[in-house]
Amino acid sequence: MLCFELKDRAVTAVLAALALAVGPVALVTETRPAMGSVATVTIVTAEPSRAAPGIEAAFGVFARVDATMNEWRPDSPLSTLNARAGRGWVALPGELCEALALAKAGAERTGGLFDPTWAALSDLWRFDGTAAAPPPDALLRARCPLVDHRGLELRPRAGRGCEARLARAGMRVGLGGLAKGWALDAAARTLRFLGYRDFLLQAGGDLYAAGRRGEEPWHVAIRDPRGGPLDAMAALDVSDRAFSTTGDYEHAFDAGGTRYHHVIDPRTCRPAPASRAATILARTAVDAEILGKAVFIEGGAAGIARAEAWGAAAVVVTGDGGVIASDALRARLRTAPDAARSGAAPR
């Protein structure tokens, strides 16, 4: 995925807090492991001591999301749902119900380009450095019918939460394509409830920027998908918007002269070839994540049009290396070398 950083410095310290002066205020930043990745919370405040409750509240949201929505944790409610696929209804907590409802709505709205039931393939496609070849076609043909968001059903439950079921044995839900966005949106709501107005939240390649960083807007940079980790393709000023980027270069392997990456097209159950990267600017981090996958898979002008129909904007690097952008972004993007001069550093 494409990555974003604060203007002033790359945040690399784990479990460490720091404060940087920005005019009459300070940026108080803390980075910790979270949700299978690394998350950063930055709060702009005139009194650095006031930042600690907000930072703890945001990381509290991230911890709840990891405990509830991580399909790789055997004790999570989502794992319970997956283990009972084809065996009836499962009672789930409210936050997971909300995330599943958003995932199902996103699947329906994108015509299945985004599909949370992709995880039925998770043991076939491996992008952890252990795979030397794609899975056999026969296995993919047998497993692909289990990728079908219509088989994920939800119904209300008396009191809080809901009940859910997966229609067929072998189905599996994975919220890796939405949970971080849900967490950023929930953390942003929590921070605003606590009275914070200017802050930056980042989890992996997903980001939510609220307000301003002192006297300036927040600056984000987009990494060149075929460059090194410090090569910026473009940069952008942003406020009160979410970014999410989907790319083919962080989780991938090459075999037989073909590149295989983790962005799987639910229609074919194979890596989508249309794009190298898709970056979305949207009002919510959930919308940005859903659109990131859908736009990457659809690709080209059709992908840009899909983002714009949601009231979002997109930058797409096509499969052959071309770059196209929404009209709403084209005039605002600073392309390299101006991106490097902006001070925004890609990770």
Q: Give per-residue pLDDT as tens, 9-36.
A: 233 333 344 556 566 789 999 999 999 8
pLDDT digits (tens, 9 = 90+) for 279-325: 999 999 999 999 999 999 999 999 999 999 999 999 999 999 999 99
Q: Is the pLDDT of residue 82 over 50?
A: yes
Question: Do residues 273 and 93 make contact, with C-beta atoms less than 8 angstroms apart?
Answer: no
- Taking residues 163-169, what's their average pLDDT? 98
How many CA atoms, within 13 angstroms, populate the side-chain half-sphere of residue 6?
Answer: 26
β-bridge mates for residue 255, sequence order = 258
Report how far Cα 298 is from the mean position of its chain's Cα atoms.
17
Q: What tokens does 131 get?
A: 């795979």
Q: Which of 171, 193, 189, 204 is nearest to 78 (CA)?
A: 171
Instruction: Name the pLDDT band for 228 (thresholds 50, 70, 90).
Output: low
Q: Is the peptide bond between 217 and the residue preceding it cis, with omega within 30 degrees of 0?
A: no
Q: Is the pLDDT of residue 6 over 70?
A: no
Per-residue pLDDT, averaged over 212-219, amounts to 91
What's the burial of 256, exposed, middle or buried (CB within 10 Å: 0-12/13-18/19+)?
exposed
Whether residue 214 has pLDDT greater than 50: yes
What is the pLDDT confidence band of residue 230, given thresholds at 50, 70 and 90?
low
**Whose CA is closest to 210, among 232, 246, 178, 185?**
185
| Mean pLDDT, the chain, whole residue set | 88
* pLDDT, position 49: 92
Question: Look-up: residue for tokens 């084809």?
Answer: 86
Where is average pLDDT lowest: 1-10, 170-179, 336-345?
A: 1-10
Q: Which residue has the higher pLDDT, 57 or 21?
A: 57
Half-sphere exposure of 251 (CA within 13 A, CB side): 13
Torsion angle, alpha carbons of 103, 109, 112, 116, to 10: 0
- What are the two backbone dihedrals, phi and then psi, of residue 319, each rounded to the nearest 5 degrees? -60, -25
| CB of 164 closer than 8 Å to CB of 55 | no
Banded pLDDT at 132 (limits 50, 70, 90): confident
- The whole-model pTM stands at 0.89
Q: Taking residues 82-108, what's their average pLDDT?
A: 97
Helix (H) or strand (E) holding 309: helix 300-309
pLDDT of 317: 94
Asked whether the predicted pLDDT for residue 5 surpasses 50, the reply is no
Could you identify the residue written with the tokens 């993007």? 333
Question: Helix, strand or coil for residue 83?
Answer: helix
Kindly report the CATH number that applies to the domain delimited by 70-166.
1.10.3980.10
- What is the pLDDT, as a whole number, of residue 13? 31
Is 342's pLDDT higher than 50?
no
pLDDT at site 347? 37
Question: Where is pLDDT greater, at 5 or 109?
Answer: 109
Judge residue 308's burial from the number of C-beta atoms within 10 Å of its C-beta, 0-12 exposed, 13-18 middle, 19 or more buried: middle
Residue-level pLDDT at 244 = 87
Check if the beta carbon of residue 257 is closer than 8 Å to that of residue 304. no
pLDDT band of 225, cuts 50, 70, 90: confident
pLDDT in the model for residue 25: 86
Q: 150-176 b/e with 16+ CB inside 10 Å = b?
A: ebbebeeeeeebbbbbbeeeebbbbbb
Please give the helix or strand (H or E) that residue 202 lies within, else none: strand 199-203
Contact 244, 119 (CB under 8 A): no
H helix intervals, 29-136: 51-69, 77-83, 94-109
